[in-house]
Amino acid sequence: MTLALVAAVTAIGTYAVPAEAGQRLFTDAAQCAAGVLAAVVCFAAGRDRSGHRRRWRILLGTGLAGFAAVRLWWTVSDVLEPTRAVAADVADIGVLFLPVFTVLGLVAGSMALPRPVQASLRRDRIVLVIDSVLIAGSLLALVWSAVPRRIFHEVGENPWVVGFAAAYPVADLLIAVMVMLLLATRPASRAARVPLRLTALAMLALGVSDTLRLLQLSSGALTPVESAGYLLGPALLALAAISNPGLADPSLDEQAEAEWLHLLLPYVPVVATGVVIAVRTGTGGQLTSYEAYLGWLGLGLVVARQMFTIVDNTVLLARVSEGQQRLHHQAYHDSLTGLANRALFRERLVLALDAYRHRGVPVALLFADLDDFKLINDSFGHAMGDRLLRAIGDRLVAAVGPGALVARLGGDEFAVLLDHRAADAEPAGHRILAALREPFVIDGHTVGISASLGLVVPEPGDPELSADTLLRRADAAMYVSKRRGKNALARYSGGADGGPNADLPHLLARALSGAPAAAGFEVYYQPIVRLTDGAIVAVEALARWTDPVAGPVDPDVFVTVAERTGLVAAIDDFVLDRACADAAGLANTYGRPIDVHVNVSAARLGQHGLEEAVAQALERHDVRPSRLVVEITETRRIPDMPRAIEVAERLRRRGVRVALDDFGSGYNALAQLHSLPVDIVKLDSTLTDVDVSPERAGALCRSVLAICAELGIAVVAEGIETPARAHALAALGCHLGQGYLFGQPGPVHRLTATVPAQPSPHSSPHLAS
């Protein structure tokens, strides 16, 4: 439609208007109208947009307004002086408004296009202009060398007029080159290329008209082709302004291709121009002053372009170096606390041990585990727990002072490496304990926390000295602090083969890797009785471990170690298999088949393998599923409750009953009671001391008994040590009980069919079951 309109106007001006002066008046008026309409379109399109997309349209409209003003001057001159000569004059300088403001608009609009190399906007503008001038100058040099001299002599005698008229096509060429550079080096969506392509076509139309006008300065009126170009150019620029591109991010391949074009494209015409000039001078030709000026201009622009490239490379190298440093820091530091992570700590520990072995540089290691930190997460949420961990990390760094490496090994575990300062290790540990005793105030909440610390200092001549060994020993010493009541410091004093705080993780892994029974593992049984008559109705299977060299290990200690090291499943499976194997012996002892309770870690309930282990043990030893009760220890969080519910349901459908152990001592007991399908609840001793605190404990116990009665769940009271407590619980409606009053855990061959004599109400043996 645009082409048809331009063709119609051109035909009217050429053929319908008879006189030359009338044709010129009609053509100038038509060009003025085209410029005004295009300027109005650009201003209107810019008003509806913002940022760079608004700015380039306003600049383009300003240039078109200058174009229309010159045409208006020509039109007025045509009316006042119909016979005036057609030649360039001072008023024609207004025509340069369009190319100048088009260049400014392209520079502004280029900022809205994706860039292959992210740099400053000012740098991008300058490089775009330099590249455009460099390519345009090289092309002009090629044209000057290729076109015969007589063509330029025929143009006119006045060099100023010729030079002024030549500025138009040169400007058009510069703009066309800039558009082509943007199309080649700024990848974007197809829609985003539309205004650039329309601008290129507009410059082509104007460039043809300007070139023809330059070559025909001595002639009269404009030819139809010239007139069409001056009409078509503004029309195409108006279409570019009203186009609405939807920019899209370029692909990686497009970015790589654009980056190579961005680097190489400006130098292609320079090389071609150099080759042409070298051939001419080599064959005896001489350079004109114009070619020399263009050569010096090109050389200066190439130097400037290279300087920008050098700056780009310098910035790029700085960014790469910064990125490498950031990645290195992320690889060796904890993202939450900013402390060293396990990888960096182990690397530094290896270096410290190497210095200790070869140069005698002292070294010491502190291992810290926060006490009951999971309760913080459960009570206040993980976000609060993360902020507390950061605050703890800051206090640890302040407590040990400079020169020590503080690391977060994971979760709530921290470690401190003291090389060159082994003598300060124990005081540093006590400073850590003192620092952590001070409450933390986070988000308006006052939070108290403590830690159990293990200290290890390597012994001279130890053949097994390594970073992993040292960490295991510090971990073992930390467990000793846990066993002593937490919030304490214990120093590793045993070797790899024994001692009061031997390398328990290593020994436990070695014991469970083969036959646990051969490594000192066995199963003890404690009776569960009916409180009304004292009849034994079931037994609970309990793991016991006596290491051949380390001696007896407390169940709380080795179970905790097993849970932390991922070995608890092996203990569960061993106890399950041995309990099913002893089922026949238990039936002989009590004169009838009896139920067997087996403990299973709560974390195990949501993992693979438990159902298979239960099925294999029952089948292997021909035990009826109804005789097996799987006790879920309630002091550990169940990580995947939906899966745990599915596993519990499948076990019950198989005939196995499910019990919730240590109810009331750990994680959200009522929530688990509501969610998990259980048959039995075992009340923790903190809820069964109704003889000591009849009002408070009695109220709690009554409430739990009432809830369980409503749900059809049996209740077993644990920790019964006195007849008074047994009678009080029976009076509250609890029918089953377990504790030292009815018998201590023992191997199957020591069990008796009757409950032993009850101790006096004043005796209170330590509960270890």
Q: Which phi and psi (to 5°) does residue 246 adopt?
A: -105, 105
The CA angle 596-602-608, to the nearest 5 degrees, is 90
User: Which residues, at least 6 apart from 56, have a Cβ–Cβ distance to it below 8 Å?
Assistant: 105, 106, 108, 109, 112
User: What sign does the CA torsion over 414, 420, 426, 429 have?
Assistant: negative
Beta strands in 548-592 (DSSP E): 551-553
Predicted confidence band at 252 (pLDDT cuts at 50, 70, 90)? very low
User: What sign does the CA torsion over 576, 578, 584, 589 have?
Assistant: negative
pLDDT of residue 571: 93
Name which of 441, 433, 410 is nearest 489 in CA terms: 433
Predicted confidence band at 767 (pLDDT cuts at 50, 70, 90)? very low
pLDDT of residue 764: 35
pLDDT at 278 over 80: no
47-57: average pLDDT: 83
pLDDT of residue 348: 92
pLDDT of residue 486: 83
Most confident of 71-80, 549-558, 586-595: 586-595
Distances (CA, A) of 227 to 3, 28, 86, 213, 272: 13, 9, 14, 10, 34
Question: Of all helices (H) and strands (E), which one includes residue 414?
Answer: strand 413-419
- What are residue 410's DSSP bridge partners? 413
Output the average pLDDT for the chain.
78
Predicted confidence band at 250 (pLDDT cuts at 50, 70, 90)? very low
Predicted confidence band at 619 (pLDDT cuts at 50, 70, 90)? very high
pLDDT of residue 530: 93
Predicted confidence band at 480 (pLDDT cuts at 50, 70, 90)? confident
pLDDT of residue 667: 52
Most confident of 311-320, 328-337, 748-757: 328-337
pLDDT at 182 over 50: yes
Beta strands in 319-370 (DSSP E): 363-370
pLDDT of residue 726: 92
pLDDT of residue 390: 93
Give residue-wise pLDDT tens across range 404-449.
Answer: 999 999 888 999 998 776 778 888 999 999 999 899 988 888 888 9
Higher pLDDT, 233 or 330: 233
Which of 377-381, 477-481, 572-576, 632-636 is least confident?
632-636
Which of 148-152, 231-235, 477-481, 625-629 is least confident?
148-152
pLDDT at 139 over 90: no
Most confident of 128-137, 215-224, 225-234, 708-717: 708-717
pLDDT of residue 2: 55
- Tell me which amino acid residue 20 is: E
pLDDT of residue 620: 94
pLDDT at 186 over 70: no
170-198: average pLDDT: 75
156-174: average pLDDT: 67
Give residue-wise pLDDT tens across range 352-370.
Answer: 998 888 888 889 999 999 9
What is the distance, to the nearest Å, from the Cα of residue 367 to the centroid of all Cα atoms in its chain? 29
pLDDT of residue 228: 81
Contact in structure between 372 and 357 (CB atoms under 8 Å): no
Higher pLDDT, 104 or 745: 745
pLDDT at 495 over 50: no
398-416 per-residue burial string, b: 16 or more CB within 10 A, e: under 16: ebbeeebbbbbbeebbbbb
β-pairing verdict for 451-456 and 489-491: parallel
pLDDT at 246 over 50: no
User: Which residues, at least 6 apart from 615, have a Cβ–Cβ distance to it below 8 Å?
Assistant: 654
Number of residues written out for the chain: 769
Share of the chain above pLDDT 90, in %: 22
pLDDT of residue 148: 52
Contact in structure between 632 and 660 (CB atoms under 8 Å): yes
Give residue-wise pLDDT tens across range 116-134.
Answer: 555 556 666 777 777 777 7
pLDDT of residue 756: 61
